[in-house]
Amino acid sequence: MTGRGASGAGPAALDSPITAPSHLHLSGHGTSLILDLPDDGPPRWQYWGPKLRDGTAPRHSAEHSLPTFSLEHPVPCSLMPGFGLGWFGPSGLRAHRQGQHFTQSFATTQVTKDEAGTTATIVLADTVAEIEITIKLCIDPRTDVLTISTALSNLGQAPLDVDWLAAAVIVLPPMAARVRAFGGRHAAEWQVTEDEIGGAQWHRATNEGMTSHTAFPGAIVLTRTADAHQGLAFGAQLAWSGNHQQTINRLDDFRCQWMLGEAFAPGEVRLAPHATLRAPDVLAAVSRDGVNGVATKFHAAIRARGPGLGRSPRPVHLNTWEAMYFGHELSQLISLADAAADLGVERFVLDDGWFNGRDHDRRGLGDWHADKVKYPDGLSPLVRHVTSLGMQFGLWVEPEMVNPDSDLYRAHPDWVLRVAGRPDATARHQLVLDLSRSDVTDHLFTVLSDLLQSESISYLKWDHNRALTAAGNAAGTASYRQQIHCAYALLDRLRAAFPDVEIEACAAGGGRIDAGISLRTHRFWPSDNLDALSRIPIQQGFLHFFPPERMGAHVGAAPAHATGRIQNIDFRAAVALQGHFGLELDPRQLTLSDRAALKRWISFYKAHRDILHADIRTGRADDGLVWHASGTADRWLLIVYRLSPPARAQAPRLPLPFAIRDADYELTLCHPHGGGALQRLGGDALAEIGITLPRMAAQSACIYLGTRA
**What residues line the site for ligand GLA (CB under 6 A)?**
321, 351-352, 396, 463, 465, 506, 508-509, 525, 528
At closest approach, how far in Å is the CB of 307 from ligand GLA? Answer: 21
Q: Which of 161, 434, 514, 528 is catalytic?
A: 528
**In this complex, which beta carbon is closest to ligand GLA, that of residue 352 or of residue 586?**
352
- Is residue 195 flagged as an active site residue? no
CA–CA distance, 544 with 222 (Å, rounded to integer): 13
Q: DSSP string covering 542-593, please?
A: HTTTS-GGGBEEEEE-SS-TTT-----HHHHHHHHTTSEEEEES-GGGS-HH
**In this complex, which beta carbon is closest to ligand GLA, that of residue 106 or of residue 182?**
182
Distances (CA, A) of 243 to 262, 480, 589, 592, 628: 6, 7, 42, 48, 32
At closest approach, how far in Å is the CB of 586 from ligand GLA? Answer: 15
Helix (H) or strand (E) holding 318: strand 317-319
At closest approach, how far in Å is the CB of 62 from ligand GLA? Answer: 54
Per-residue H/E/C for 74-99: CCCCCCCCCCCCCCCCCCCEEEEECC
Q: Tell me, what amino acid is at 362?
A: R
At closest approach, how far in Å is the CB of 325 from ligand GLA? Answer: 8
CA–CA distance, 608 with 631 (Å, rounded to integer): 9
Q: Which of 459, 458, 481, 478 is nearest to 470 (CA)?
A: 478
- How many CB atoms are closer than 10 A to CB 37? 20
Residues sharing a CB contact under 8 Å with residue 338, sequence separation 6 or more, in sequence order: 389
Q: Could you say which DSSP state residue 280 is in?
A: P
At closest approach, how far in Å is the CB of 149 from ligand GLA? Answer: 32
- Identify whether the C-beta of residue 271 lies closer than 8 Å to the C-beta of residue 160: yes
Crossing angle, helix 380-388 and helix 330-343, to 10 degrees? 20
At closest approach, how far in Å is the CB of 693 from ligand GLA? Answer: 34
CA–CA distance, 435 with 424 (Å, rounded to integer): 17
Q: What are phi and psi of 486, to 5 degrees?
A: -75, -35
**In this complex, which beta carbon is closest to ligand GLA, that of residue 562 or of residue 611?**
562
Q: Could you say which DSSP state residue 414 is in?
A: G
**What's the length of the chain?**
709
Which residue's C-beta sits nearest to ligand GLA?
352
Cis peptide before 173 (omega within 30 of 0): no
**In this complex, which beta carbon is closest to ligand GLA, that of residue 132 or of residue 351?**
351
At closest approach, how far in Å is the CB of 119 from ligand GLA? Answer: 39
**In this complex, which beta carbon is closest to ligand GLA, that of residue 244 or of residue 317?**
317
CA–CA distance, 505 with 489 (Å, rounded to integer): 15
Q: Which of 161, 281, 289, 463 is catalytic?
A: 463
**In this complex, which beta carbon is closest to ligand GLA, that of residue 92 or of residue 394?**
394
Q: Tell me, what amino acid is at 444?
A: L
**In this complex, which beta carbon is closest to ligand GLA, that of residue 144 or of residue 351?**
351
**In this complex, which beta carbon is closest to ligand GLA, that of residue 216 or of residue 321?**
321
**In this complex, which beta carbon is closest to ligand GLA, that of residue 509 or of residue 548?**
509
Cα-based angle 154, 156, 162 (whole degrees, multiple of 5): 45
Q: Which of 613, 642, 652, 617 is nearest to 702 (CA)?
A: 642
At closest approach, how far in Å is the CB of 116 from ligand GLA? Answer: 43
Q: DSSP string covering 98-128, please?
A: TTB------EEEEEEE-TTSSEEEEEEEETT
CA–CA distance, 93 with 166 (Å, rounded to integer): 6
- Is residue 531 flagged as an active site residue? no
Enzyme catalytic residues: 463, 528
